[in-house]
Amino acid sequence: MHRSFPSDLLTWLHANLPASLSTLTCICLASFVLVAVKRRYLTSLRDIPGPWLASVSSLWQVYQLVKGHTEQEMIRLHRNHGHFVRISEKEVSVCHPDAIRALLQAHIAKGSWYSIFSLPDYHYVNQMSELDPQRHIHKSRNIAAGYALSNIIKSEPQVDALLARLEEQLDRLIASRQPVEFDRWFNYFAFDVVGEVTFSSPFDFLATGTDIRHAIANSRALALYIAIMGHYVWLHNLTLGNPLLSRLGLQPTSHIFDTCLAAIDHRQRQSQAKTPATATTSAAPARLDMMERWLTTRQQHPERMAESEIVGACVANVGAGADTTSATLQAFVYHLIRHPQYLAKLRQELDEAQARGELSPIVSYAEATKLPYLQACIRETYRYHPATGTGLPRVVPAGGITIADRHFSEGTVLSINPWVYHRNAGFFGPDCDEFNPERWLDADRAKQMDPFLIHWSAGYNQCPGRNLAHFEISKVAACLIRDYEITPVDADAPWQFETHFTAVPYGWPCWLRRRAVGLGGVTGFSIASPSSYASTRGVTTVTSYHDMVEKERGAYDGF
């Protein structure tokens, strides 16, 4: 009688499986060794030093991203190895004076990592995710009007109202004797501002004082996802970046994303309702915000700008424009309160300008730019804590590129990390690891350092939102330092921050107290002036908490 097939199979497996597994293991191990040897040694980059794992796999970069301090590891590696560090099979991190001109300022393609920023999927290529230099320049021209400083300043009354609202919320926390978590409040402010200037619709984080639907917390998790999936774009396009999910409405959403899409959809319907005849005769919109300017460009030149480009620009503006501003504002305050000698000089500059009547209750951008010590502190913050903590990759074009007498062949990826440049003694002096705003007060020295200050990148690929970010940072920095005494809850505990794409700080609560200069002791304007000031400029603000603050102030001396 014949044995059953299952029994025969089990007998065969019992007899042969151990040997088969052993053979399979040997084959896999041999394949790994062959691939590793090929990637590590059979390449023109074999002489470039760097971590062994990095030369054979992208997992080294992923590991650094998950750890959250890519920037520190890259500084260490460059100090050990010099101008060039190999960080993947085909990528080399570069730190050399000639590299900025050869890579960032040249019209060469960006690395494929950037394509991850096409949101919500790869059909919506924006200025940041566009890899081709010519198409990038074309897209830049289409959206340039929205980012022009002259147009951003036209939104200053609305930004003033949001800044007044921020101070009201800080005053509320003072009155209730609660510490201020700047990582929360600067994020609320930055997201509300970018919503306001993009489509005249703030996200109301400041108004509610909450992270609505955990949108900001979720965006930080998304930042890690984006940073990692930038190395595996093909996998992203099959999963969260799949266009099918967009069409079916199945992509993960948030309060920020939903508000963006709702505002875009509403404005597009308004725009489509206009005919060419009515477009020229109808009244102008109440506000010519960024989206309105982009829709106008598309209406006037439909062959030049696709509808998907507007959606991509709006979503990218919100996605990339808030975290970087918040991180820089946090770094500005954090490092100043830990360097009281510089804080005292900045306060003196602000108080003297206030006494001369040169500062408004909500400091204007024009006023802030005339304060040299303030601007020096901001520039030092850009240097000491650049918002971008990862490399900026570029692809070597046909013919190759030579840097420091080292030739790199076509297809090699060369990247520049802002932190590595900003902590280089050859560019910024032997005190490059120290926070020292006064390095920027010497005009000749500042001129020598300027080419190496690359917090916004450089050349045609500079961050398009840099004018808006500097506009916000200048105003908030001036108001906050003038109006408040700021003391860390635990002066001995350093802050924490993680670098995925943006170097995002957290965990450094502070006690705040209103300064006399902000209460009328020097200037004569009252504590309620920020709201009053915004109201006189035609802006609606939230209900003020200042009456409560005044009531509590007599019995409360601060922390």
Question: Which has the closest alpha carbon to 413: 390, 435, 433?
Answer: 390
In the block, tokens 């004082």 appear at: 209
* 27: phi then psi, degrees, rounded to nearest 5: -65, -45
Q: What is the CA radius of gyration of the chain?
A: 27
Q: Is 463 annotated as a binding residue?
A: yes
Question: Which has the closest alpha carbon to 381: 333, 427, 339?
Answer: 333
Residues 46, 36: Cα–Cα separation, whole Å: 12
Expressed in angstroms, the distance from the first to the final Cα of the chain is: 92
CB 164 within 8 A of CB 540: no
CB 205 within 8 A of CB 187: yes
Q: Show contacts of 93-97: CB within 8 Å, 24+ apart.
A: 93/391, 93/414, 93/415, 93/416, 93/417, 93/420, 94/403, 94/414, 94/415, 94/416, 95/416, 95/417, 95/420, 95/421, 95/424, 96/403, 96/404, 97/426, 97/427, 97/452
DSSP 8-state class, residue 102: I
In the block, tokens 């439909």 appear at: 302
CB 474 within 8 A of CB 480: no
Up-side HSE of residue 356: CA atoms within 13 Å toward CB?
Answer: 9
Please state the separation of Cα 339 from the chain's center in Å: 25
Annotated binding site, which residues?
A: 463
Annotated binding site for heme, which residues?
A: 463
